Structure 1
Amino acid sequence: MLGRTIKLYLMDGTASGRWQASISQWSGLVYKIPRACLKETEDIPELNTPGVYFLFGNECGQKFVYVGEADNVQKRILQPHLFEKNGSQWDDAVIYVTPDGSLEKGRVKYLEHYFYKQTCDCARYIVKNGNTPTQSPVRREVRDSLMTAVENIKLIMPTLGYKVFEPAAKTSVSGENQPVLLHLSGRKAKAEGYLNADKSIVVRKGSSFSLTETKSCENYLRKRRTELIRLKQVVNGKFVEDVKFNSLSTAAGCILGRDVNGKELWLYPDGTSFKKKNSQ
């Protein structure tokens, strides 16, 4: 594969300000705009055109992303999103636009759907979209040109600090290409999950979920439990899809509805707790 040059321009002369990213011989532009700088972007006319955007944030130690599209990206991002009604707040917006305004509605809808599916499949971030974006049909030649943009955006995104399109690595047992499976069992819920290399855990589809909470259930756990139900990741006390948690305790607390030490409750197949096995 031939090498490519990514050009990064710090628009405000500081890494904490606005960034513009581009790739040689590609007309697309990608901007990283901190929330605090968003209203200062009148000097970027491209942001008043159609585009695809990502809103990144961190909530209770959990990284999240929202994938969206708009006919006027700047105007749309300044408006509230549904996930913000529960108190969530994004920190940075990453926006893809074209200076010539060639991203008409069908194209941005296609890209929005594609990137939404990619973020879900990679499972590195909580995806805040309440519904799956509709995929617009496009002609084959248009789809092929959009894939060029997709590959370039995937190259640029990590340079901006987001590995949203890199699949979460799974730890393995004795060098085997199998994830480390853990299980948890309580009076009102049972769950199974697999460990990632960063010690996060993905609770597997089909695991049960306590619909009641004890007085010890911390506010951040209550908030995350409400979010799981609102996003329909948990329905009638069951996980209907795989869900990533950044810590064993957050996962266990959400499942059981109480404040717990997840390292003691998550067990390996031989019955040894995570805490005991990893303290040896």
Structure 2
Amino acid sequence: MTQGRSIRLFLVDGTPNGLLTAEIMNWTGHVLTGPRSKLSELVQRPECGRTGIYFLVGTDPEGNPRPLVYIGESDDVATRLKQHNRPEEKGGKDFWEKVCLITSKDQNLTKAHVKYLESLLIQNAGQVGRCKLINGTAHEYIGLPESDRADMAFFMEQVRIVLPVLGFGFLRDTHRLSLPEQEDAGASLSEVPRFRMDIKRDNITAYAQEVDGEFVVLEGSQARFEWTDHKHNYRALFKQLCDEGVLVDNGDGHRRFATDYAFGSPSPAAAMVAGRAANGRKDWKVEGTGQTYAAWQDQRVSAAAPAADLSPD
């Protein structure tokens, strides 16, 4: 089992939508984040005068559910953020709504360190595929000594841990799932089952598993070739997955998942398979038993909370 972590959060101005700092115990990194509307206060913070990496995050005006992200580095982040805040015709960036800055409490990050981190983070964000990168191609920085590269690898792992806690999930990796990997990790099938969804009249079968709070449809799962429910909002997501090569033509009148793909819950996962709105809590069933996802989840919750604890006072 993964060991727990302690993250210290501080609301700088005492409001949930203002400036926020975050630190992990025994990590030299320091995180500062806030909305663009608070940029005038943010750039006055001492962290902004240090060497660091930063993320500009916004929504896609074309309706893509994945956020737009720009990853940058600077010796003086405040100056760089002021440049990004200019109108687009003057070299600024209009898309971003939030900023996240990561520096070091001991100020040991150098220009070479943050260039290396920037390169790693751009590559990682592109590989994970949870955002639309504004950067383009990542540059290769290989001039760091081996010991520094090891330190930056650890630093980056802490960044990937703390960002989702702050609402930035674009670096969260999707685990490649298979039954042998689960058994190696010590998890039994009764704890982490594989779910199956069948659309018998169309001869469609899909598989999924739940991991780290997400519902992951497995590579090779089948799906309907076209979206049929033109009024539902999931139609845009179906088109996006087709355009990005997640759902590909299987050559038999169906589509298939070309890679594992994580959804926030079972229902959007079921909708992508069915090509229409679907209730994933009923449509996904435990492989081998036929138990619905809803019944399986209720069984787990009931087993974890004894009847005596659930009875009214």
Bin for the TM-score computed over the shorter chain: 0.5 to 0.7
Counterpart contact for 1:111–1:146, Cα < 8 Å: no
Give the letter for the 1:20 counterpart. Answer: T
The structural deviation recorded for 1:251 is 0.8
Matching residue of 2:248: 235
Query: Structure 1 pair 150/41, CA: closer, same or farther in 2 (3 Å)?
Result: same
Question: Of the candidates 51, 54, 65, which is equivalent to residue 53 of structure 2?
Answer: 51
- Is 2:171 the partner of 1:182? no
Matching residue of 2:149: 143
Matching residue of 2:43: 42
CA distance in 2, matches of 1:230, 1:103: 38
TM alignment of 1:19-168, pairs within 5 A: 19-22=20-23, 28-38=29-39, 40-44=41-45, 47=48, 51-53=53-55, 55=57, 66=69, 68-71=71-74, 74=81, 75-76=83-84, 79-80=93-94, 92-97=98-103, 102-104=110-112, 106-113=115-122, 116=125, 120=128, 127-129=130-132, 133=138, 136-137=141-142, 138-150=144-156, 152-153=158-159, 156-157=162-163, 160=166
Matching residue of 1:214: 228
The structural deviation recorded for 1:134 is 5.8
Give the letter for the 1:147 counterpart. Answer: A
The structural deviation recorded for 1:65 is 8.6
Matching residue of 1:191: 206
Deviation track 1:22-72 (CA, whole Å, cap 9, x = no partner) reads 578976431121344346533247547651427488xx9x89795733456
CA distance in 2, matches of 1:44, 1:238: 49
Give the letter for the 2:121 counterpart. Answer: E
Matching residue of 1:123: none
CA distance in 1, matches of 2:8, 2:194: 42
Which SS does the other structure have where 2:150 is aligned? Answer: helix
Which SS does the other structure have where 1:109 is aligned? Answer: helix
User: Comparing 20-29 with 248-257, which one deviates more in the overlay?
Assistant: 20-29
Q: Please list every run of 5 or more consecutive structure 1 residues that lacks an aligned counterpart in the other structure.
A: 82-89, 121-125
The structural deviation recorded for 1:230 is 3.7
Give the letter for the 1:109 counterpart. Answer: E
TM-score, scaled to structure 1: 0.67
- Is 2:217 the partner of 1:203? yes
Query: Structure 1 pair 14/259, CA: closer, same or farther in 2 (3 Å)?
Result: closer
Give the letter for the 2:111 counterpart. Answer: L
Q: Please list every run of 5 or more consecutive structure 2 residues that lacks an aligned counterpart in the other structure.
A: 86-91, 250-254, 300-313
Which SS does the other structure have where 2:224 is aligned? Answer: coil
Aligned residues: 256
Counterpart contact for 1:182–1:193, Cα < 8 Å: yes
CA distance in 1, matches of 2:216, 2:26: 39
Query: Structure 1 pair 13/206, CA: closer, same or farther in 2 (3 Å)?
Result: same
Matching residue of 1:274: 292
The structural deviation recorded for 1:146 is 1.4
Matching residue of 1:223: 236
Query: Structure 1 pair 108/275, CA: closer, same or farther in 2 (3 Å)?
Result: closer
